Chain A
Amino acid sequence: MNAKQWSMASLAALVLLTAGCGKEADTPEAAGSGDKEMKGEIVMWHSFTQGARNDFMKEAADAFMSKHPGVKIKIETFAWPEFYTKWTTGLQSGQVPDVSTALPNHVVEMLDADAIVPLNDVIDKIGRDRFYEAPLKEGTVDGKNYSIPLYSHAQVMWYRKDLLEKAKLPVPKTWDELYETAKALNNPPEVYGLSVPMGLGDMMATRFLNFYVRSAGEALVTKDGKANLTSKAAIDGINYWVKMYKTTSPSGSVNFKVLDQATLYYQGKTAFDFNSGFQIGGVETNSPKLLDQIDAAPIPKINANDPDRGIETSNVPMVVWKNSKHPEIAKAFVESLYEKERYIKFLHSVPAGMLPAMKDIAEDPAFLDNPTIQKFSGAVKVISSAVDQGTAIGMENGPTLESGILANQGVIEKMFQNIVLKNEPVEEAAKKAENELNQLFKLYQ
């Protein structure tokens, strides 16, 4: 590169710099109050790409528009990974929606990017004390609620009744029992005992490790925001999943992401799996005959007499974006989703998969009156009690950016891969991954 080119580059830099400054000057102002007749177009992004949930959102938007003739709602659907790429890149150019669904650790990042607005008014209108507290807390900073919980679900253990019966084995309650049972049922390529997913670009291995660590009463992120992969529980957990991978898992599961993992169970190829109530719908679509043979149990414990502990709960919220020109419309639309009848209809679009974010709805006969929820009443009970106690991975101490890094950067997945593929010693690999995570945490401060 010669001097001329360098000077060109710096000239361009100067131009860009000034352009950037100009942009910052005109910060978007909150739109004026338009309480009486709402008018305008809003864009909603959601990630319900398929089936009844997708239809539901369309209907909800249509209903809202016919009630408010001046309003137009444009809906776009993106699968979660795509959704994430879209809004992070979109933020650069102002290409974000007015209102959208989100995942808890997205919310933390959206807050970091100063991209969303508080929704206290919406929550108060719906009834603040109707909501469960834990999910509300996940989007709360300094008393401001930046997200409103839409539904909740929790990870539980799914098993195959028929396989257990045939082998005359009980439902495992401890991790050791699970290992022995999965090993006994392992009969590839017909059925694998339990697949241990470790794919990069997803958080499955982190999730599995978190199960074990949480069941021991520990967490992957310490109170002062440091990664913790070298506690006894973490090392034991890593060893446990490595052993499980080598015994009962298809070798390709090192590359599995969430869908690969779940599909195996949907198709009757694994005896055990971990998932929320969404598992039911998946099995129903893929192999309806298996529907009578599946059930859920709590996540195993280290010792049978350990107390019940919260493991992993996902509370999927909605957010309203700062970029919105019509936040009042966006908020009104969000509010409309929580009208009792409509809300129950929404929850029933994935029966037993989406549990209410509001206490009164959970006990409402209208909500319980659904064939799937009744058929799987046992599983629903297991999931509901798990929902109560758990948090998102790494959010045991409230919403932090660390939890997002833990889930999104694939450090733990890579650690597992290094152990099972390159035979790295467990403690060494854990130490290395812990350092790497802490380094990444620093990058974000």
Chain B
Amino acid sequence: MRPVGRSKVGVALLYLFLSLLSVLAVFPLVWIILSSFKTSGEMASHPLAFFPETFTFEYYRRVLNNLHFATNIKNSLIVSLSATLITIVVSSLGAYGIVRFFPKAGKRMTKLLITTYMFPPILLAVPYSIIIIKLGLVNTWTGLVITYLSFSIPYAIWMLSGFFQTVPLEIEEAARVDGAGKWRVFVQVVLPIVAPGVVATAIYTFINTWNEFLFALLLINSSGKMPISVALYSLTGSEILDWGEMMAASVIVILPSIVFFMLIQRKIAGGMAEGSVK
């Protein structure tokens, strides 16, 4: 081990470093949470005051009642959950297939998948809106989910292959000897082993779709169907900008993501590290 890890001064320095980084990382979140409870007069006149003088829940009330954010949250949930579900089913099969049955071609496949990442989303917008109209799925959640699959499946396959590679072949062979078919081996033996990885991938996909902005902006035309990221954007373009509403809405949007992230962070990395080290 390096000496810096041993000496007390070294450890203290590490704690100091991490504390500073943590303050930087957390400050914006803390700041908008605190600000979302301040009155607009207070925000304008005391830019440095940390804690609100008078706590107001007014903005949260307005965001949830008048602006129908509850509807937008529901829309986001529907779109993100369906996209996640489809992604996970298709990608688990795909990733397992690549790892077990086409290990050689799989290498190329992953590279190809990464290449699909190279196309800038901004230019996918017009072709996608044309495809979606041809499919008759304009202004529907189905249409939006389909576009989300385009970026979530490649990434999910790539993440999941990492997890599947950690499953020892011997276990599968043992099951096969006992007479189980390939499908049964997959469902009853392999999936339970990589379950944590699948969950991690699922939540990661969920957050990416939850935060997606561009396609939702361009493909959904009715405010009743808008997911939350676009609803948030609409707020910034409205006639009278209300910083307080914006803060409250932002807090409502990020808190679920943060909770999810805390739950999965260990798992996300686990899959990647193992996958690529092998």
A residues adjacent to B (C-beta < 8 A): 48-51, 74, 76-82, 85-86, 89-90, 92-95, 189, 259-260, 263, 266-269, 278, 281-282, 285-287
Give the complex CA separation of A80 and B234 in angstroms: 10
Say which one of B26-34, B132-140, B188-196 lies at the interface with A.
B132-140
Q: Are B240 and A282 in contact (CB under 8 A)?
A: yes
Interface size on B, residues (CB 8 A): 27
Most buried by A among B125, B139, B217, B240: B240
Q: Are A95 and B221 in contact (CB under 8 A)?
A: yes
B46 to chain A, nearest CB (A): 11
Asked if A76 meets B222 with Cβ closer than 8 Å, knowing A267-B40, A285-B240, the reply is: yes
**Main SS of the interface on chain A?**
helix
Residue of A whose beta carbon sits closest to that of B241: A259
Question: Which B residues are CB-close (under 8 A) to A281?
Answer: 240
A61 to chain B, nearest CB (A): 14
Whether, in the assembled complex, B65 has its beta carbon less than 8 Å from a beta carbon of chain A, the answer is: no
**Main SS of the interface on chain B?**
helix
0 or 1 for each of B228-243: is its CB under 8 Å from A? (1 = yes): 0000011011111111
Q: Are B238 and A49 in contact (CB under 8 A)?
A: yes
Q: Are B237 and A95 in contact (CB under 8 A)?
A: no
Q: Are B41 and A287 in contact (CB under 8 A)?
A: yes
Q: Are A80 and B218 in contact (CB under 8 A)?
A: no
Give the complex CA separation of A58 and B138 in angstroms: 24
B243 to chain A, nearest CB (A): 8
Asked if A79 meets B234 with Cβ closer than 8 Å, knowing A95-B138, A267-B40, the reply is: yes
Whether, in the assembled complex, B21 has its beta carbon less than 8 Å from a beta carbon of chain A, the answer is: no
Q: Are A79 and B218 in contact (CB under 8 A)?
A: no
B residues adjacent to A (C-beta < 8 A): 40-41, 44, 47, 125-126, 129-130, 132-133, 138-139, 217-218, 221-223, 233-234, 236-243
Question: Which A residues are CB-close (under 8 A) to B238?
Answer: 49-50, 79
Give the complex CA separation of A263 and B125 in angstroms: 33
Q: Are B44 and A93 in contact (CB under 8 A)?
A: no
Those 9 A-B pairs whose CB atoms lie nearest each other, nearest first: A79-B237, A93-B133, A259-B241, A49-B238, A267-B44, A93-B129, A81-B237, A76-B222, A263-B241
Question: Which B residues are CB-close (under 8 A) to A269?
Answer: 44
Asked if A74 meets B237 with Cβ closer than 8 Å, knowing A82-B217, A95-B138, A269-B44, the reply is: no
Most buried by B among A76, A278, A285: A76
